[in-house]
Amino acid sequence: MTEIYSTGKICPYKIPNCDLAKEGLTLEPGIENIMSSSKDYDELLYAWSKWRDATGAKMKDLYKKYVQLSNDEAKANNFSDKGEYWRFAYEDPHFVENIDTIWKEVEPLYNELHKYVGNKLKDRYGPKLDMKDGLLPAHVFGNMWAQSWEHLRDILEPFPNAGQMNVDAEMKKQGYTLLEMFKKADEFYQSLGLYSMEMCYNESAGAMIRKPTDGREVLCHASAWDFCDKKTFRLKMCTDVTFEDFRTIHHEMGHIQYYLQYKHLSHTFREGANPAFHEAVGDTMALSVSTPTHLKKIKLLNNFDESYESDINTLMNMALEKISFLPFGLLIDKWRWDVFSGAVQADKWNSHWWHYRMKYQKVKPPIERSDTRDFDPGAKYHIPGDSQYIAYFVAHILQFQFYKSLCIEAKQYDPHNRAVPLHRCDFYNSVAAGDKLK
């Protein structure tokens, strides 16, 4: 299944009958660039549907076998199914109820954001965009899975005339290299008194930080690896010179730093407090790195004046990345738990997927979907990749708690002083914050 996903290609929109081997587009960076930059409704629909044809539709039978084998393994270890086995890591008998409670708390904010985005998208696409039922087509959010809406910021910023944070353009203007991006992220961690992670992005030692050009087929999905020998740690990523990838590097290095912090323990104890902690560490760093305060320090944001209007734009951009993600982070494993438990049978897997996407994300398929032909969950890496996902939902909550705590420790935020808001905090260069994290 992961081979199907990693080698999936589609023909360009204007060359629908291309030679896939020579002209086909892979997900990263080709198809994702289309989803993030195109404003053509029909081109987005084409890329969205063809990617699902190239991946999920080809793996449904394999997924049936995977579910059976996964459940066999779980039952052999005294769990009722794979879903219960995954949830066990959170050591909370009320875990499902607790995440539902968290969702209910943030859902009203998500709904307001969804309505705002829908109205702006209606202005862009006109009658092509049918939102009478309160649902938006899943292909128009600037992301293959509608899990992040940050690429819509050009039409969503409340104050377009306020200072612009075009970090991508500044990185290209300064001639940033891929290696520079990794070194800059590593330096951020070291400024907190944490370990150097040079070994994890050293290409001569085996790290993959760029897409190979020698014809090799690789899985580009960014990931961090602990080789369990207390000295070998690697990052794998098909990096582009973009601010999005710059933040992703900080996220993945969070995993590496966690590996380094517990490498001296026996193997049994070399894991996070729960899976969400591992995801939250790097995301906490990315929150600090994303602030105008930090970007000015590292000279990636010039001629930018902070004001009420720019603050609101910054918070909107944060919402487009963080709030937009929450329902997607919740529904993936809700769907899988139902699949593993047998609550939904294989002949209804795809319609059940869209039931959850409509219920939580309030998005709908832009074209007709089928339970016999389509398997849309398989178009997201973590489904064929056997990687649990609810950790990302929990981490999106934890990271703000971690961030607030580190900001207080770094004396960059005082909850009793409203004159300096939390979202302006940058704990860069604070060894005290690093000690708190450790």
Query: Which residue numbers are catalytic?
Result: 252, 382
Helix, strand, coil % in the chain, rounded to nearest 5: 60, 5, 40
Q: Are 38 and 44 in contact (CB under 8 A)?
A: yes
Q: Is 90 annotated as a binding residue?
A: yes
Which ranges constitute the DSSP H helices of 131-242?
153-156, 167-173, 178-191
Q: Are 363 and 135 in contact (CB under 8 A)?
A: yes
Q: Are 163 and 304 in contact (CB under 8 A)?
A: yes
Helix axes 243-261, 178-191, angle to 10 degrees: 50
Q: How many Å apart are CA 45 and CA 22, to the nearest integer? A: 23
End-to-end CA distance of the chain: 37
Q: Is 250 annotated as a binding residue?
A: no
**Residue 143 φ/ψ, nearest 5 degrees:** -150, 140
Q: How many Å apart are CA 201 and CA 177, to the nearest integer? A: 13
Task: Tell me which residue has tokens 């990263």.
Answer: 28
Q: How many Å apart are CA 83 and CA 343, to the nearest integer? A: 12
Q: Is 409 annotated as a binding residue?
A: no
Q: How many Å apart are CA 219 and CA 376, to the nearest integer? A: 19
Q: Are 188 and 428 in contact (CB under 8 A)?
A: yes
Q: Is 46 annotated as a binding residue?
A: no
Q: Are 41 and 140 in contact (CB under 8 A)?
A: yes
How many other CB atoms are there within 10 angstroms of residue 145's CB atom?
A: 20
Residue 6, SS3? helix
What H or E segment, with its residue span, contains residue 226? strand 223-226
What is the number of alpha carbons within 13 Å of residue 208 lying toward its C-beta? 17
CA 111 to chain centre: 20
Strands 363-364 and 223-226: unpaired
Question: Annotated binding site for chloride: which residue ranges?
Answer: 90
Question: Annotated binding site for Zn(2+): which residue ranges?
Answer: 251, 255, 279
